[in-house]
Structure 1
Amino acid sequence: MTGPTHGTAPGAPSSPPQIALLLGAVFLVYLGQMTLNPIIAPLSREVGLAEWQIGVTISTAAVVLVLTSQFWGRRSQSWGRKPVLVAAFTLAAITMALFALVSHLGMIGLLTGTGLFALFVLLRGVGFGSAIAAVPPTAQAYIADVTDDEATRVKGMAGIGAVSGIAMIAGAVVGGVLAVGGLIVPLIAVPMLLFAGLVLIAVRLRREPRHELIERPARVSPFDARVWPFLLAGFGMFTALGFIQVITGFIVQDRLGLDARMTGVLTGAALFAAGVGLVVAQAVIVPRSGWSAPTLLKVGAPIAVAGFAVYAVDGGPVLLFAALVVMGLGLGIAMPGYTAGPTLLVRREEQGGLAGLTTATTGLTFVVAPTLSTALYGVWAPLPIIIGGVIMAIVAVFVLAHPRFRRPPAPPADAGA
């Protein structure tokens, strides 16, 4: 890698990396998000919003994430990780506290219709979307900065995926269990979790010395020959995921014939199943396999395709949960290949821009997929699952066929834009 190990200037004293603390920040922001996921479908029906309006809300968050991720990724290298994360967690905690208040007013009938929908979009979409956009690229850029070989970097990027999966499991449990006390309970818990993350970052995270920062981090083009095949594979994977993620609550409610409260509980259980697959993949399989980034993509994508195929079948709760475990396993194996692969091909001053670009690529998939999937679900319930499975199959063929995933990566110093 170009640049000194651990992001320090030559001859400067090296501080121990704080990877675990950065992963803790990623865990808490995703835990807040995932705690909300089991109740978002029943919440929409409880306050009188249509399925497509929830899809638009999630898509708005994705648009904001796409527009701001590269900015946050580069600022994490020029301002430092701590200022970026403090700002992100502060904004997230405030917007989700207001979202809980607005949801409560919607549930008791004091806010309805267009006004309620607009506040959902503003708070959950714009506010929370811009806040969470800062966290993954900051963590990814940091891990790329303090690791200098493929095996260590893949493990570090898998760590981000693993804590995301653990957050999915924990959020499914927390959101589902708290929903037993009413939908407002998990809504109150989310800003409290985000405030805990803010305290953790403010108290424990070191600020980098000025010599460790990069005054003008470089932009990375999505058409850069070094990275676009990875971005295209990631775009396909997360588009496929986007087609089924938001509708899971509706699938659980409609296939199993549940009321709003039990839908929250059982959707939590379904997301728990997906999270188990993800964590097994990224905490056990990926670190122990020693596979390269391209190999992870080539192994994980076909497994995910199998999960989509099973998920399309209405065969009761056991088959539904099994499909989510398989999907989580496949995507969990493939995702570190997507995030770690291009970092091995770019220079240190490009890592922040690249981290923002991979996060933006992920977010871009949620601009259209949630809205389109919820609309298609209203036409025919299996349709968004089938489309997601076809997209995932195209990704599997692409990573098996493209030369970028067959030859070893060139050193960063030799790679051109």
Structure 2
Amino acid sequence: MTPPTTDTATRPTTSRSQIPLLLGAVFLIYLGQMTLNPIIAPLSREVGLAEWQIGVTISAAAIMIVLTSQFWGRRSQSWGRKPVLVAAFCLAVVTMALFAVLAWLGMTGAITGTLLFVLFVILRGIGFGTAIAAVPPTAQAYIADVTTDESARVKGMAAVGAVQGIAMIGGSIVGGLLSAFGLISPLIAVPILLTVGLALIVFRLRREPRHELIQAPVRISPLDPRVWPFLLAGFGMFTALGFIQVITGFIVQDRLGLDAATTGLVTGGALLAAGVGMVLAQTVVVPRSGWKPATLLRVGGVIALMGFLVLIVDAGSVLLFAAVLLVGLGLGIAMPGYTAGPTLLIGREEQGGLAGVIGATTGLTFVIAPTAGTALYGLWAPLPVITAAAIMLIVTVFVLTHPRFRRANTASRLR
């Protein structure tokens, strides 16, 4: 079904200055998340949790993203961006402050075993997962709302990915460096960063006037023929990433034979390499290439596949860093194609629902992949990386051959 063309005159034109603030919100909440990534593996071992329990914790967060992303995306159009982001950041600050206290109690031995695991799932999984689910759909729906041509929309969606990549770099640096002073240091830093984000939203982000809101945003089905090929491609890409993201710390520690503190520092460096690749892709390659969404998916898929294949080989730190750099570069090129492509085929009243579906699709990949990745790692260390490479190969073949992507390169229309 083709929606009626949206009259661009009804789109908000006075609120373009809000885009940097929304990108700042994305950056700060992801900076909080990424600051924890370098220490999650050594932290789990310090508090006595198994690899699979960390995988379950990450999967719980992904489940909440799946369950709440479309709700948040549509509410960002009907309530407004500010109320949604204030609620999300308040929840994030509270849960991450409590998580820092919990981790400290776990390291001192005051809380152990099943209780510690359950509280990890509730705070880091359910609580923070629900909070972070609100932010990217809000930013993406807004960018789709105010961009009036295909090039601007692709660049806007690339900007969302770019700030996520910059957050990966910043989080890798902050988390890695602070871990040298003890694993508790990054845990304390995260709620502070989130509080800064909350203050930015409360004092700088304005509420939209009623005429800019959409009272009844349309719910988008993931089976909608206009969007499902893009969703399937994105699902495959992020599933492949999910298989290796959580185990990166374990790969670093086991391949290089490092202690807990050094593992946090070196893992931060590896994630920094991935972030550099992503930022390079989305600040240089995507804006300057002028490629359409389907081309971005194809080129990015091939480069990411090369990275996954290189990562299979255990040949020291240089090859490991090169592999994650290629993965970051490839996915950084492909992501704007995944997020911008379907927005060009639907109407304005559907953008919030679509942004939520995209967020839910991305979150769905982390429901199974982290748990499966950590479980497979326990069986045989190269197995999750081989699985990720196989998935990425399937995605690459799909975007090279499916008719939707051939049509998207020649017949995309901005709605």
Corresponding residue of 2:143: 143
CA distance in structure 1 between the partners assigned to 2:128 and 2:243 by the alignment: 21
Query: Aligned ranges for residues 266-281 of structure 1 at < 5 Å?
Result: 266-281=266-281
Corresponding residue of 1:57: 57
Deviation at 1:15, TM superposition (A): 3.8
Query: Aligned ranges for residues 381-400 of structure 1 at < 5 Å?
Result: 381-400=381-400
CA distance in structure 1 between the partners assigned to 2:263 and 2:414 by the alignment: 49
Instruction: Assess, with a 3 A threshold, how the Cα gap between structure 1 residues 376 and 148 changes in structure 2: closer, same or farther.
Output: same
Supply the AA of the counterpart residue of 2:131: A
Deviation at 1:412, TM superposition (A): 6.2
Corresponding residue of 1:2: 6
Corresponding residue of 2:190: 190
CA distance in structure 2 between the partners assigned to 1:316 and 1:7 by the alignment: 53
CA distance in structure 1 between the partners assigned to 2:7 and 2:316 by the alignment: 54
Spell out structure 1 runs of 4+ moving beyond 6 A.
none
Q: Is the 8 A contact 1:5 1:146 kept in 2?
A: no
CA distance in structure 2 between the partners assigned to 1:222 and 1:326 by the alignment: 29
Supply the AA of the counterpart residue of 1:302: V
2:292 is the alignment partner of 1:292? yes
Q: Is the 8 A contact 1:5 1:148 kept in 2?
A: no
Q: Is the 8 A contact 2:239 2:369 kept in 1?
A: yes
Corresponding residue of 2:115: 115
Superposed CA deviations along residues 225-276 of structure 1, whole A, max 9, x for unmatched, are 1000000000000000000000000000000001110010000000000001
Question: Matched residue of 1:291: which SS?
Answer: coil
Instruction: Assess, with a 3 A threshold, how the Cα gap between structure 1 residues 22 and 271 changes in structure 2: closer, same or farther.
Output: same
Q: Is the 8 A contact 1:173 1:269 kept in 2?
A: yes
Q: Is the 8 A contact 1:274 1:325 kept in 2?
A: yes
Deviation at 1:18, TM superposition (A): 1.3
Deviation at 1:410, TM superposition (A): 4.9
Corresponding residue of 1:214: 214
Query: Aligned ranges for residues 5-404 of structure 1 at < 5 Å?
Result: 7-8=11-12, 14-404=14-404
Q: Is the 8 A contact 1:6 1:14 kept in 2?
A: no
Structure 1: gaps of 5 or more residues: none
Deviation at 1:148, TM superposition (A): 1.4
Instruction: Assess, with a 3 A threshold, how the Cα gap between structure 1 residues 306 and 391 changes in structure 2: closer, same or farther.
Output: same
Superposed CA deviations along residues 198-250 of structure 1, whole A, max 9, x for unmatched, are 00011111100001100010000000010000000000000000000000000
Question: Matched residue of 2:137: which SS?
Answer: helix
Deviation at 1:17, TM superposition (A): 3.5
CA distance in structure 1 between the partners assigned to 2:101 and 2:378 by the alignment: 29
Q: Is the 8 A contact 1:49 1:117 kept in 2?
A: yes
Question: Matched residue of 2:27: which SS?
Answer: helix
Question: What count of residue pairs does the alignment treat as equivalent?
Answer: 409
Q: TM-score, normalised by structure 1?
A: 0.97
Deviation at 1:14, TM superposition (A): 2.8
CA distance in structure 2 between the partners assigned to 1:214 and 1:137 by the alignment: 15
Supply the AA of the counterpart residue of 2:203: V
Q: Is the 8 A contact 1:5 1:145 kept in 2?
A: no
Supply the AA of the counterpart residue of 1:241: L
Q: Is the 8 A contact 1:249 1:263 kept in 2?
A: yes
CA distance in structure 1 between the partners assigned to 2:10 and 2:259 by the alignment: 52
CA distance in structure 1 between the partners assigned to 2:413 and 2:304 by the alignment: 31
CA distance in structure 2 between the partners assigned to 1:359 and 1:88 by the alignment: 15
Question: Matched residue of 1:223: which SS?
Answer: coil
Deviation at 1:411, TM superposition (A): 3.6
What RMSD, in angstroms, separates the aligned Cα atoms of the two structures? 1.1
CA distance in structure 2 between the partners assigned to 1:412 and 1:21 by the alignment: 24
Deviation at 1:308, TM superposition (A): 0.4
CA distance in structure 1 between the partners assigned to 2:10 and 2:41 by the alignment: 43
Supply the AA of the counterpart residue of 1:150: E
Superposed CA deviations along residues 321-353 of structure 1, whole A, max 9, x for unmatched, are 000111111100000000000000010000000
Q: Is the 8 A contact 2:16 2:146 kept in 1?
A: no
Q: Is the 8 A contact 2:281 2:332 kept in 1?
A: yes
CA distance in structure 2 between the partners assigned to 1:409 and 1:272 by the alignment: 37
Deviation at 1:364, TM superposition (A): 0.2
Deviation at 1:6, TM superposition (A): 7.7
Q: TM-score, normalised by structure 2?
A: 0.97
Q: Is the 8 A contact 2:68 2:130 kept in 1?
A: yes
CA distance in structure 2 between the partners assigned to 1:24 and 1:357 by the alignment: 22
CA distance in structure 1 between the partners assigned to 2:236 and 2:296 by the alignment: 15
Task: Percent identity, please.
Answer: 74
Question: Matched residue of 2:219: which SS?
Answer: coil
Q: Is the 8 A contact 1:6 1:146 kept in 2?
A: no
